[in-house]
Amino acid sequence: MKSLLLVVFIALLAACSTTPYQSADQIQASHSEVLAQLPNWYHQNLGLQLNGGNEYPEQQALASLLQQADLEFMRSNFQACQILLERAQRISTREPSVYVRLSYLFWLENNTRSAEQMARRALALVVRDEEASAEVKRLLLAIQANQY
């Protein structure tokens, strides 16, 4: 009888919960799905081509921080990743790839509101680059549709 009550209670809790329950395996799976969705530029060129490549000296600092941020991202150290991205933002306040990364980060953390806002910020910054703009728009649509 006691076990039955416990099962009913857990079922009730699960039903009331706003976030669907995810097992550790499921979380891992969703992480890898997001990582798989990251566009090529994210991995290969740190996304710097979005803002015209390494033509400014401070781009070295920016690249270094983004590289470290990517590493933390891959390790699922999201807080460390976000801190590094914020440092990058202070150095290059209008670097779209920083905001794109922040968007992915928030998305992965299930914070779709912030993910969408970061993507919008990136979109406002890449508007003259058609290819990059298309990438960010795809990201924005995916976030809005909540599709990993």
Partner 1 sequence: MKNMNSSRFKTVLSWALKLSLVGIVVLAILMAYLDAKVREKFEGKRWALPAKVFARPLELYPGLELKPKYLVQELEQIGYQRVPNVVTPGQYSFDGSEMDVFRRYVTLYDGEEASARVHMRFAGGAINGLWLDGEPVALARLEPLLIGGIYPKHNEDRQLIKLEEAPSLLLKTLVAVEDRDYYDHFGISLKGIARAMLVNVQRGGLVQGGSTLTQQLVKNFFLTRERTLVRKATEALMAILVELHYSKDDILETYLNEVYLGQSGRRAIHGFGLASQFYFGKHISRLSAPEIATLVGMVKGPSVYNPKRRPENAQARRNVVLNVMHDQGLISDYELAVWEKRELDVVQYSQYQRIEYPAFLDLVRRQLRSDYADSDLTSEGLRIYTSLDPIIQRSAEQAMSKRLEQLEAGYRMPKDSLQGAMVIAGTESGEVEAVVGDRNPRYFGFNRALDANRSIGSLAKPAVYLTALRLPEYNLITPLDDSPIKVSGSNSSVWEPKNYDKQSHGIVPLYQAMSRSLNQATARLGLQVGLKNVVQTFYDLGAKNDIPAYPSIVLGAFEMNPFDVAQMYQTIAASGFQTPLKAIRGVTTQDGQLLSRYGYDVKQSIKTEPIYLLQKIMQRVVKEGTARYLNSQFDASLNLAGKTGTSDSQRDSWFAGFSGDQLAVVWVGRDDNESMPLTGSSGALRVWAQTFKDLPLKPLYPLPTENIVEQWVDVEQNAISSEACDGAVQLPFIQGRLPLQTLDCVQEQTPDTGKSWWSRVFN
Taking the C-alpha atoms of residue 73 and residue 67, their distance in angstroms, rounded to an integer, is: 10
Quote the least distance from Cβ 130 to partner 1, whole Å.
9
Q: Which residues in this chain contact partner 1 in the complex, by CB under 8 A? A: 56-61, 63-65, 79-80, 82-83, 86-87, 89-91, 93-94, 102, 114, 117-118, 120-121, 124-125, 127-128, 133
Taking the least distance from each CB to partner 1, the nearer of 33 and 84 is 84
The first and second tokens of residue 24, run together, are 């550790």
Handedness of CA 101, 105, 106, 108 (dihedral sign): positive
Segment holding 143, helix H or strand E:
helix 130-144
**Which whole-number Å values give the CA distances from 142 to 39, 89, 90, 111, 147, in the listed order?**
13, 24, 28, 13, 5
Taking the least distance from each CB to partner 1, the nearer of 2 and 128 is 128
Taking the least distance from each CB to partner 1, the nearer of 10 and 108 is 108
Taking the least distance from each CB to partner 1, the nearer of 34 and 91 is 91
Quote the least distance from Cβ 142 to partner 1, whole Å.
18
